[in-house]
A and B are shown apart, each in its own frame.
Chain A
Amino acid sequence: MSDDLTIDGNGAAGLLQEVFPFEMTTVRATCDGCGASGALGALPVYEHAPGTVIRCPHCDAVQVRVVRDAGRYWIELRGVRCLEIRA
């Protein structure tokens, strides 16, 4: 269940899968700011900003930002130290 306000990574699964060739909600991200790690599905997502912003639930730092416009994506991962993807 989700609509226009805050959701979490579960609700952003489809968008993430447009970009990445993996099921992304089970991918663990380690925050570059505070070192906390968690599954992307559990992280808070904000959709009011231009594009979609995934934040760290512990220190609120931006982890992932995805902006989509007319056939292009911009993906910023500056806040992620490491993505752990199960092959």
Chain B
Amino acid sequence: MGRLTWRPGTVLESVTETPRVKTLTIAAPEWPGHRPGQHVDVRLTAEDGYQAVRSYSLAAPASNGTVMVTVERLDDGEVSPYLVDEARPGDQVELRGPVGGYFVWEPALGGPLLLVGGGSGIVPLAAMLRVHAAAASDVPTRLLFSARSPDEAIFTAELDRLAADDLQLQVIATYTREAPADWTGYRRRVDREMLEEVAWRGADRPLAFVCGPTGFVETVAADLEQMGYAGDRIRTERFGPTGGTP
């Protein structure tokens, strides 16, 4: 712990997840590794010396000296429009971290584990699930994610693959605006009734991680507390504008 230093990073790859979201793989040879749910701060420097820093969730465990961040473009942002629209392989950025220790899950923390994500709030939860699968963790885990439509949902193919391979993992989706014609799952915002059907009972002493827009997170966290979840076992991470329904 202690002072953080900026380390060089080189963009290796940019993958389109949705029209507004991309996953960047960044070579970071000096990166010290991180725990699932932690952040990386990204700093950009303009030609005139102006600098902007933003913090992003790491989407996966570090591997082979690379880190992955999944970034949603906020139209009035200073950093995300560059990362989503402009960043090309070979571009240089600066990274520091990992930062954050509060919104972190590791197999040793146990469960049962409930992950609830709204929109791009799925990103740190996916990092937890990737570690859960890689470690063959026996912690029973349920992920509930909410997206406006399948086109706007992130990582769905990988989540399906993880759920198929990881016997301890159940993935439940809800689509709030548009669902496929043959969709038999939920078609509404996450609410108390849905949580009662999907989430562990409070008596099971679950550990919950909730990530998404501010209103989404506050509603879900309040519902879980009413369902008997201990306040100190509900970890939250909220971001971005309060408008919009994931």
Contact = CB atoms under 8 A, between A and B. Distances in A.
Interface string A1-34: 1111111111111110110011101100000000
Which bracket fits the contact residues of A?
Answer: 20 to 34
B242 A6 contact: yes
Contacts of A8: 236-239
Contact of A23 (B56, B101, B237): B101
A14 B56 contact: no
A79 B123 CA distance: 32
A1 B57 contact: yes
Interface in A17-63: 17-18, 21-23, 25-26, 39-42, 44
Contacts of A23: 1, 99-101
A5 B124 CA distance: 19
Nearest to B123: A1
A1 B4 contact: no
Nearest to A22: B1
Interface in B29-54: 39, 41, 53-54
Given A5-B74, A8-B237, A14 B242 contact: no
B53 A42 contact: no
Contacts, number: 111
B56 A1 contact: yes
A9 B239 CA distance: 10
Interface in B72-113: 72, 74, 76-80, 96-97, 99-103
A10 B102 contact: yes
B209 to A, nearest CB: 11
Contacts of A9: 102
B241 A14 contact: no
Given A2-B239, A14-B55, A44 B77 contact: no
A17 B1 CA distance: 9
Contact of A13 (B72, B99, B214, B236): B99
Contacts of A12: 55
A3 B100 contact: no
B238 A13 contact: no
A18 B55 CA distance: 14
Which 3 pairs, one residue from A and one from B, show the smallest C-beta to C-beta distance? A41-B102, A13-B99, A25-B102
29 contacts: A1-B237, A2-B239, A3-B72, A3-B79, A4-B54, A4-B76, A4-B77, A5-B242, A6-B238, A7-B240, A8-B238, A9-B102, A10-B103, A12-B55, A13-B39, A14-B4, A14-B39, A14-B96, A14-B97, A14-B99, A21-B1, A21-B2, A23-B1, A25-B99, A25-B100, A41-B102, A41-B235, A42-B102, A44-B214
Interface of B: 1-4, 39, 41, 53-57, 70-72, 74, 76-80, 96-97, 99-103, 120-121, 123-124, 211, 214, 235-242
